[in-house]
Structure 1
Amino acid sequence: MKTKHYLTLADAEFLLNQAHQYAIENSFNVSIAVTDETGNLLAMKRMDGASPMTANLCLEKAKCSAMSKRPSKLFEDLIKGGQMGFLTMNTFNGMLEGGEPIVYDGQLVGAVGVSGVKSFQDAEIAQQAIEKFLVQVH
């Protein structure tokens, strides 16, 4: 029988706090969501000054990344390249980058989604949080 890794609430809060701290250090006002491997919300934070719309977008980015096991930017690139004719999201603004999968010991355990600044910066925030998390758990 295999061992299945999963995110605890403490893990989700650690990820959320790391992303929040990175956003503060860079003067970004964003919303951040952490989901489990199925795309279900574990923890979320909308920073003061972040647009209300970013709360839903960060969750959608995290869900997309968790369910596909890939960075959400992949789908943005496919759409821009004309390889994907449609995409269903509750609020799709054309910029999907910002959802990043969390892979631990070869297993998808969740995702982080960020929205509120340029899409590459959203992804950067998520990536930084995940990197710090993976260092902390090893």
Structure 2
Amino acid sequence: MTSPIIGTATISLEAAQELIAEARRACTARGFAATIAITDAGGHLRAFERSDSVPFLTVDVAIDKAWTAVSFGLSTHQWNQYMAEPAVAPLAHHPRVTPVGGGMPIFHDGQLVGGIGISGGTSVQDHEAAEEALRRVGLYR
């Protein structure tokens, strides 16, 4: 019998904090303040930062973008396209699915280890900042 236990890789706290710092720099370079959330491979919050000037709604949006991205290993801007498909459209009623740009899965050595969610700019700005942060720390796939 094979082992009934599967090990799950997840992002370390140190890497999550480094990703937060790079995401903050990427947002600042684009001219906006943001809330940034990093989840582990199971979608649980691992690291978090909210800029002083962003609306409180960005808190849940950033967390849910990271959760959505890690749930299937897909960027949240891709979810927007999938929601147009009748077979997937019912997922739009799930309270945490956030099909708006700014959430990206985090991969390391081909394994899904977490998600990043950014909220504060436009969906394009949020996505670009997340992508840049992942590139800078070597976690972009």
User: Normalising to structure 2: TM-score of the pair?
Assistant: 0.84
Query: Is the 2:27–2:126 contact (alpha carbons within 8 Å) kept by the matching residues of 1?
Result: no
**3-state SS, counterpart of residue 52 of structure 2:** coil
Distance 1:38 1:91, change over 3 A: closer
Q: How does 1:1-138 map to 2 (within 5 A)?
A: 5-79=9-83, 81-83=84-86, 84-86=88-90, 87=92, 88-90=94-96, 96-134=100-138
The whole-number CA distance in structure 1 between the counterparts of 2:61 and 2:95 is: 9
The whole-number CA distance in structure 2 between the counterparts of 1:82 and 1:91 is: 15
Consecutive unaligned residues in structure 2, runs of 5 or more: none
**3-state SS, counterpart of residue 112 of structure 1:** strand
Query: Is the 2:106–2:112 contact (alpha carbons within 8 Å) kept by the matching residues of 1?
Result: yes
Query: Is the 1:56–1:91 contact (alpha carbons within 8 Å) kept by the matching residues of 2?
Result: no
Consecutive unaligned residues in structure 1, runs of 5 or more: none
The whole-number CA distance in structure 1 between the counterparts of 2:78 and 2:27 is: 23
Residues 10-59 of structure 1: CA distance to partner in whole angstroms, max 9, x if unpaired? 11000000001111222211111001111110011111211110010000
User: Normalising to structure 1: TM-score of the pair?
Assistant: 0.86
The whole-number CA distance in structure 1 between the counterparts of 2:132 and 2:46 is: 19
**3-state SS, counterpart of residue 49 of structure 1:** coil
Distance 1:112 1:73, change over 3 A: same
Q: Which has the larger radius of gyration?
A: 2
The whole-number CA distance in structure 1 between the counterparts of 2:97 and 2:81 is: 18
Q: Over aligned residue pairs, what C-alpha RMSD do you find?
A: 2.1
The whole-number CA distance in structure 1 between the counterparts of 2:79 and 2:8 is: 27
Deviates more, 1:82-91 or 1:27-36: 82-91
Measured after TM superposition, the shift of residue 132 of structure 1 is: 0.9
